Structure 1
Amino acid sequence: MQMLMPEPQIFVERTLALIKPDVVDKEEEIEDLILRAGFLIVQKRKLQLSPEQCSNFYADQYGKGFFPNLTAYMSSGPLVAMILARHCAVSYWKELLGPSNSVMARRTHPHSLRAIYGTDDLRNALHGSLSISSAEREIRFMFPEVILEPIPTGQRARDYLNLYVKPTLLAGLTALCKEKPADPMIWLADWLIEHNPNKPRLQHQVAEEEHQGHRKVCISQGLMPSSSICLKESCSTGTAHLKGVFCVLLLLKG
């Protein structure tokens, strides 16, 4: 009897992580452990919250006995806020953190981050969102400029890959096999940049001068009649770098 294996599912979640003030000096060490656990650090910022901002962030804890000490602790110095992403990010991050009480964490989850870096129930080193909905709220609080667009998951993710990614990638891999370059990775990277279907189409224009109208036009390969774009590609130490210099010329009629 033939076994039917389920198709792999693609799920991407985001959660908020905070490195609290008393362990900010361990930032690089903690980030390394986060990356080793399979998380992607989507965005990061260092900031210091006022007591009022801490009160707003922990509004769901208002009225509890530890609330004044919590807000005082969290506003005592700079902290590091990070948006983390991976499959089941919320639950995996909570598991990596361990129990909220660092004393208990050292007994029951000795390899958790709070067991390693925390001190007690209050100074437990790190924060993690409790749910997907709280993660969205907390990310908006710490990163108000971030637009939380839904990430395609499951069948939607596969449809997106099939429609927008695979055709170009397969064409590039086919060209790679025919070309057989000395450095396949660099060649494919350059090919994908050159054949990116989403890049703007450049139109070649002839430089001209209009003396009578007090208007000077110096445009080559412009995106629009009123813009100029210059791209330079260079390779160093075996790595291809794309350096773009964008010069927008606003052409005002004299």
Structure 2
Amino acid sequence: MQYTVAIIKPHAVVNRIKIVQLLKDAGFRIVGERYVEINVDEAWYLCKDEAGKVAADNLHTENRIQALLGTAMVLLLTHERAYELMSEIIGPDDPVDARKKQPNSIRARFGDVGAFNVLAVSESYKMAVRNIQHFFPRFSDTLNGPTSDVSQERIQIDAYFREKMLPTLLDAFYDMATVKPAEPVTHLSQFLLNNNPNHPKVVRPEDANMKQ
């Protein structure tokens, strides 16, 4: 299994739902996501190649930096052939060229021109490791050696937490912030018991009538 990072550039964030769905439809599994505010320093960092260098073409580099500035959505993706598949579905770098050669590609559908091409992606394992460490540092301790991927166990734990626990916990924290109970731990435990989605509390008709 391969892991890669894809950055939905600021100009394309408005179409993020459609873009994410296309990635899922292609077979990618999203195991991490976050929004980041990219400044000039971070944009320079993202423009570096595997050797840590930035292209000498000043105009091209400037355009790439400008296209990254602002609020972007960063995705941690997994697939058996992540790098090859990503190359297939996003299309050529320039959206104008993409519309001619791959009109159904992501860049053809949502890109503008030049570096405003929807996605910046990790094109190799080395670049993926660098970007995972940068944007998803809690995964960095599971990156071991030049050929291994992010720990599958760690990914599964994260996915389990997001799916099974986080929605109910967010509701509980919102309730606590509203009620401000004197005994927050007791209140939290009772809320979780009463709102367990796996064991919903059944209200009998006579109980409902008594509350009216």
Class of the TM-score when normalised by the shorter of the 2 chains: 0.5 to 0.7
Q: Aligned residue for 1:31?
A: 20
How many angstroms does 1:151 deviate by? 4.6
**Does the CA-based 8 Å contact 1:233-1:240 persist in structure 2?**
no
**Does the CA-based 8 Å contact 1:94-1:128 persist in structure 2?**
no
Question: Secondary structure of 1:59's match?
Answer: coil
Question: Secondary structure of 1:240's match?
Answer: coil
Q: Aligned residue for 1:207?
A: none
**Does the CA-based 8 Å contact 2:2-2:81 persist in structure 1?**
yes
Q: Aligned residue for 1:132?
A: 125
**Does the CA-based 8 Å contact 1:100-1:124 persist in structure 2?**
yes
Structure 1 stretches of at least 4 aligned residues deviating more than 3 Å after TM superposition: 148-153, 232-236
**Does the CA-based 8 Å contact 1:13-1:88 persist in structure 2?**
yes
Question: Secondary structure of 1:43's match?
Answer: strand
More helix by share: 2
Q: Aligned residue for 1:20?
A: 9
How many angstroms does 1:83 deviate by? 0.5
Kindly provide the CA deviation profile for residues 155-212 of structure 1, in whole angstroms up to 9, marking residues without a partner as x: xx9xx9xxxxxxxxxxxxxxxxxxxxxxxxxxxxxxxxxxxxxxxxxxxxxxxxxxxx
How many angstroms does 1:86 deviate by? 1.2
How many angstroms does 1:73 deviate by? 2.4
Structure-1 separation of matches of 2:88 and 2:100: 15
How many angstroms does 1:152 deviate by? 9.0
Q: Please report the TM-score for the alignment, with normalisation by the length of structure 2.
A: 0.64
**Does the CA-based 8 Å contact 1:55-1:62 persist in structure 2?**
no
Question: Secondary structure of 1:146's match?
Answer: helix
Question: Secondary structure of 1:78's match?
Answer: strand
Q: Aligned residue for 2:48?
A: 59
- 1:71-220 equivalences in 2 (<5 Å): 71-75=65-69, 77-147=70-140, 148-149=142-143, 150-151=148-149
**Does the CA-based 8 Å contact 2:3-2:149 persist in structure 1?**
no
Structure-2 separation of matches of 1:114 and 1:64: 22
TM-aligned CA distance change 1:240 to 1:99, over 3 Å: same
* The one of 198, 203, 211 aligned to 1:240: 198
How many angstroms does 1:146 deviate by? 2.1
Structure-2 separation of matches of 1:108 and 1:63: 27
Aligned residues: 154
Unaligned runs of 5+ in 2: 154-188, 201-212
* The one of 26, 30, 45 aligned to 2:34: 45
**Does the CA-based 8 Å contact 2:3-2:150 persist in structure 1?**
no
Question: Secondary structure of 1:111's match?
Answer: coil
More strand by share: 1
How many angstroms does 1:234 deviate by? 7.3
TM-aligned CA distance change 1:151 to 1:71, over 3 Å: closer
Question: Secondary structure of 2:103's match?
Answer: coil
| Aligned sequence identity (%) | 26
How many angstroms does 1:241 deviate by? 5.6
**Does the CA-based 8 Å contact 2:139-2:150 persist in structure 1?**
no
How many angstroms does 1:123 deviate by? 0.8
Question: Secondary structure of 2:139's match?
Answer: coil
Larger Rg over CA atoms:
1
How many angstroms does 1:233 deviate by? 6.6
Structure with larger RCO (C-alpha < 8 A, sep 6+): 2
Residue 105 of structure 2 aligns with an amino acid whose one-letter code is: S
Structure-1 separation of matches of 2:93 and 2:72: 18
